[in-house]
Structure 1
Amino acid sequence: MRYSANHKLETREKLLQSSSVSAKKSGFSTVGVDGLMKAIGLSGGAFYSHFSSKDELFTSIVERELRQSLERLGAEKDRDKLERCLKQYLSMSHVDHPETGCALPALGAEIARSDVMVRQQAEHRICQLQESWAQILESDSLAWAILSQCVGALLVARMLATPEKQRMVLKSSYDEIGRQIAGPRT
């Protein structure tokens, strides 16, 4: 059977998409190559025509996910839009659906344990996001603080079992960020 010229690219994209969802939902290290390929209807052996290793796949997932996060979160160029973006980020929907959200709270620990190439790639994208927010907020340190607080708040909320406590973490963080944004700029 002959495949279209784009078949390999389409299969690679399906594998990246499926693996990203799986990694953000359950962790990257929890699923083997066979499981990743089975999720898109292919055998494990076909994996190596797309990636030389599972580590290479993880590197591609991190690049793809952080690029998409930057496009979603870094595109807002005024404070009102940034505040709306933060409200969506610090939401129960984001807590309940890690597979459709930001990769940082879902994959941060795995990125931290990865080789230097993956961490440098993540650093590049995270710094781009911070720089985008720093322009809006007119403060490098405030942008770092808010970025860190958002990721941390979402991670803590996901660790909690009680929805009321999760909501409390999200609301407290959102309210504090609102005070930081409204406060004097340094």
Structure 2
Amino acid sequence: MRASKEHMDKIRAHILESSGQGFREEGYQGLGINALAKRAGMTSGAFYGHFPSKSQAFHEVVEKGMCDYKDSVAQFKNLYQDDWPKHFLDFYLSQEHLSDVANSCVVPALSCDVMRANDQTKAVYSALLEQIATQISQSTPERGKAGALALISLLAGSIMIARSVDSQRLQQEILQSARQQADLLVAG
């Protein structure tokens, strides 16, 4: 008896979720197919039944993560209307987001790995990054796309650097400094 398409899609989504968490926590080079399969609770053969390679799984994790970022911006805009940037920054530069690497934004978590990825993965990352920047710039037309790209870069860089230091005091200083600069970028 063959599994239904719905069941196979559910398994594939579970693999993407667990692989995304693994790549965020350990990086692309930190995990092989066996480790990715184990995280998903399956054999490597079963993993290969859904993804032909680790790089294809990474590509899809990056694509999903960038789409999630875009969807999050849309949700904040929908929920908070004109006040959305404040709430978005409250979330993005929070201790919770900083600490939850496995479920965090793909941009600070995986950009260094995307930099070393294949052209296909870089292309999807680039296209979705531009869409996110355009989406953000609609709320700050005076800053335009350049301001949105600066904001995205500031946020991701701040999270990456704060995760890299061994002092909670310095982490908080980084997040607070980033917030001050981010507020300037989104000010109307």
| Contact 2:62/2:125 (<8 A) preserved | yes
Aligned to 1:103: 106
Aligned to 2:186: 181
1:64 alignment partner AA = K
Deviation at 1:159, TM superposition (A): 0.7
**Whole-angstrom distance in 2 between the partners of 1:65 and 1:177:** 22
Aligned to 1:82: 85
**Whole-angstrom distance in 1 between the partners of 2:183 and 2:35:** 43
The structure 1 residue matched to 2:115, chosen from 112, 118, 121, is 112
The answer to whether structure 1 residue 121 and structure 2 residue 159 are counterparts is no
Rate the CA distance shift 1:154–1:79 in 2: closer, same or farther, 3 A. farther
Q: CA offsets per residue over residues 65-102 of structure 1, 9 Å max, x none?
A: 11011100244444411121012101111111111110
Deviation at 1:37, TM superposition (A): 1.1
Aligned to 1:165: 170
Q: Secondary structure at the match of 2:40?
A: coil
Rate the CA distance shift 1:173–1:101 in 2: closer, same or farther, 3 A. same
- Using the aligned pairs only, state the percent identity: 27
| Contact 2:76/2:87 (<8 A) preserved | no
* Stretches of structure 2 lacking an aligned partner (at least 5 in a row): none
Rate the CA distance shift 1:128–1:5 in 2: closer, same or farther, 3 A. closer
| Contact 1:79/1:137 (<8 A) preserved | no
* Stretches of structure 1 lacking an aligned partner (at least 5 in a row): none
Q: Secondary structure at the match of 1:29?
A: coil
Q: CA RMSD in A?
A: 1.6
The answer to whether structure 1 residue 148 and structure 2 residue 144 are counterparts is no
Rate the CA distance shift 1:6–1:179 in 2: closer, same or farther, 3 A. closer
Aligned to 2:59: 59
| Contact 1:24/1:107 (<8 A) preserved | yes
| Contact 2:19/2:36 (<8 A) preserved | yes
**Whole-angstrom distance in 2 between the partners of 1:73 and 1:28:** 26
| Contact 1:89/1:150 (<8 A) preserved | yes
